[in-house]
Amino acid sequence: MTTKKKKTTKKQETNTIKPKEPIKAVLSGERVTTENSDQSRELYNQSRYGILLNNGRVQLSLIESAYLLEKGVLETVSASNRKIDFEKFIKKAIKLEPNFWTRYCVFKDIRNRGYIIKTALKFGADFRVYDRGVKPGEDHAKWIVYPVQEASALTWYEFSAKNRVAHSTKKKLLMAVLDAENDVTYWEIKWTRP
């Protein structure tokens, strides 16, 4: 097994639409649901955020919502209609998911580079990432991503398990390492035969 560092060159802004007015959304538990609007559907169709529901609304993950909230694309309120700004949203998300900040920083970095990133729980990973220009449903994801803190440690068993998941899903494995300055470095891991 060898590791190869993936270059972290200049960041490229995504093609996330920026509506004239932020899209209204409600935080309920671990999900955020947008209003039924053309803007919500356009956000899904253009950039593949969330899941398009039958009622025309888009259901977003906490991470997608935080990203869109920070970008000014989303305006989030609680179930009791209280506005939730970015800082409050992050605090709530960290209470629900202790590793949220690490995962968010990786999500944000990958989205800012122009890739579509989605959750990958069904694959046994944190995220799956599609090559530029590819939308989910049109082709398969190219990578699975595991975000980790720079100071954290993995056992060989954990490391091997992550490699097996990547191999069994026919995807490349990226370890996304977040440092103290919230910068992300990517390591692409591959199996090699001697």
Which residues participate in catalysis according to the annotation? Answer: 130, 140, 171
> What stretches of 80-161 adopt beta strand conformation (E)?
83-84, 116-119, 127-130, 143-149
**Secondary structure (3-state) at 18:** coil
Helices 100-112 and 86-96, interaxial angle, to 10°?
120
CA distances 8 to 46, 112, 134, 184, 186, Å, are 25, 12, 21, 8, 7
How far apart, in whole angstroms, are the C-alpha atoms of residue 83 and residue 167? 44
Going from the C-alpha of 176 to that of each of 2, 10, 110, 133, 139, the distances in angstroms are 16, 16, 10, 21, 23
Q: How many CA atoms lie within 13 A of 42 on its CB side?
A: 12
